[in-house]
Amino acid sequence: MKYTPLWLFLIGFLSVCSTVQAQIVEQPDPLRPSTPSADSTKTNANTDSTKTTPDTAHRDTLVKVPTPIFRYRFTADGTITTGNVNRTLLQLTGSIDYQLNNYFKLSSNPSFVYGQQSGILAEREWFGDFRTTLRHEKRLYYLAFGSYERSNLRQINHRWTVAAGMGYKLLNRKRAYISITDVLMQEYTDFIELADINIFRNSTRLFGEYAFDNDRFKVTHTVFYQPALGQYNVRWNASLSVQFQFTKVISLRSTVANAYESLVVPGRQNNDFRFTMGLVYEKQ
């Protein structure tokens, strides 16, 4: 999909956040930046090897404006168990990128989890963010974002975060990608039972994606480590996903994820672990 109006992207994001009622414990995988195509590499090589003439020199000065690119990935998985134990779990995640040009893009990673145990609501977790990335095609890039969360699982009424920082691509190949980002983040959390907190955190994220067998198999991992500045209050989460592609747009995906928060309301555990399996729809 070469072009989608910006207003359509914004409406889609707002529709996810407008009915927010709780928080997911782990954040979805982002979409990695697109790699240069073989055609563009070949074109550049041919241009370099061609003898420059006044006409070609004039043409080289004309900068071709890149066409905006819209990419997305949606994952749906869950579990239903009946009998001695009645258990329902539904998890929906998404990754959306709107690349305006080679220097600027907008993205979002919304997610929702709903779970019941023996007819009692256990999870109703929402996460929604909106981020901008500058120089995303470069090895060193910059980003700024804001997010909003609510969580029945961790008894959080509201959690707002705003952050800005930079990222660096440790490895950027067609079938192997690793990046690390580090941002300064301000967080405001309104707990149902605990006192509200308004703190600064340093947030570090390590993200990797690897493809095998002509992209039929993919492995992705995401790790966040977010300690508070000036006090002991640590949050971290990590996920590992294995994906098998059935068609160009449909894949089967299995994910293990773990999340930890040092500060939780009474009666809640600090650690949460989740294993899910489901289908992925991805268009790039």
Whether the predicted pLDDT of 202 surpasses 90? yes
Tell me what pLDDT residue 30 has. Answer: 76
What are the angstrom distances between the C-alpha of 62 and each of 52, 65, 100? 15, 9, 19
Angle at 16 between CA 14 and CA 17, to 5 degrees: 65
Whether the predicted pLDDT of 73 surpasses 70? yes
In a domain, 70, yes or no: yes
Instruction: Please state whether 164 falls in left (phi above 0), alpha (psi between -120 and 50) or beta.
Output: beta
Q: Which percentage of the chain shows pLDDT scores above 70?
A: 78
Provide mean pLDDT across the span 248-269. 88
Token code pair at residue 75: 């994952």
* pLDDT tens digit sequence for 139-149: 999 999 999 99
What are the angstrom distances between the C-alpha of 91 and each of 14, 55, 180, 255? 19, 57, 26, 11
The answer to whether residues 160 and 130 touch, using CB atoms and an 8 Å cutoff, is no
Q: Minimal CA–CA distance to 114: which of 75, 78, 149?
A: 78
Beta-carbon-side half-sphere exposure of residue 243 (alpha carbons within 13 Å): 28
Whether the predicted pLDDT of 61 surpasses 80? no
In a domain, 134, yes or no: yes
In a domain, 12, yes or no: yes
For residue 23, the 8-state DSSP code is: -
Task: Of 43-47, 59-63, 131-135, 170-174, give the lowest mean pLDDT range.
Answer: 43-47
Q: Are strands 217-227 and 234-245 parallel, antiparallel or unpaired?
A: antiparallel
Angle at 267 between CA 265 and CA 273, to 5 degrees: 85
In a domain, 86, yes or no: yes
In a domain, 110, yes or no: yes
The answer to whether residues 89 and 81 touch, using CB atoms and an 8 Å cutoff, is no
Length of the chain in residues, anyone?
Answer: 284
- In the chain, how many domains are there? 1
The answer to whether residues 178 and 167 touch, using CB atoms and an 8 Å cutoff, is no
In a domain, 1, yes or no: no
Please, is 3 exposed, middle or buried when counting C-beta atoms within 10 Å of its C-beta (0-12, 13-18, 19+)? exposed
For residue 12, the 8-state DSSP code is: H
Distance, CA of 33 to CA of 205 (rounded, Å): 16
In a domain, 77, yes or no: yes
Q: Which residue has the higher pLDDT, 274 or 284?
A: 274
- Measured over the CA atoms of residue 33, residue 238, residue 19 and residue 185, the dihedral's sign is negative
Tell me what pLDDT residue 87 has. Answer: 84
In a domain, 217, yes or no: yes
Query: 81 lies in which domain range?
Result: 6-48+56-283
CATH number at residue 187: 2.40.160.40
